A and B are shown apart, each in its own frame.
Chain A
Amino acid sequence: KAGVTQTPRYLIKTRGQQVTLSCSPISGHRSVSWYQQTPGQGLQFLFEYFSETQRNKGNFPGRFSGRQFSNSRSEMNVSTLELGDSALYLCASSLSGGFGEKLFFGSGTQLSVL
């Protein structure tokens, strides 16, 4: 069974640009969550999607958005990039995002904003 796949692995952008990251969950998993990881800040929750609907959202500005497709694949978009957006962006999938379900993480997309 293939794991969670994130593309691309690395991205370099300049301030003001926008970026789209992709996440393909494990087959059969319908919940996809996104996290931002920065040194010293741990994993900060961005949002969670289930059945093409955003079900939960963290405390990030509106420049961060996402969507989920009917095949459960998810994309995350960041517009008007800022230097502080440089981070590792991780997505994680689970069967339904239900209580106590194990999260399976992807390898992440390392975004550098210059």
Chain B
Amino acid sequence: DQQVKQNSPSLSVQEGRISILNCDYTNSMFDYFLWYKKYPAEGPTFLISISSIKDKNEDGRFTVFLNKSAKHLSLHIVPSQPGDSAVYFCAASSDNNDMRFGAGTRLTVKP
């Protein structure tokens, strides 16, 4: 059961522009949401998170937005850099365990 969905398998943006990665979830019990970044041959690296009591969390160039009514979250990267090119996974958890991941979106930032 795909409780977390990333419907765009890939995204390509120009360096300096905004990257917007989207994620939808179905389980209303999820209360903690995370974005991970993954390079080839490495494990996922934690990027940013948001709890269900907030609707926005910002960390440098990265901002995550949560729309609970729509069960949707997004990751904004501004400005995008070539080093941001990677696969981005959205993840969600409830009761502090059993995290569910989306299938990932491959971001390519072109110089």
A binds B: no
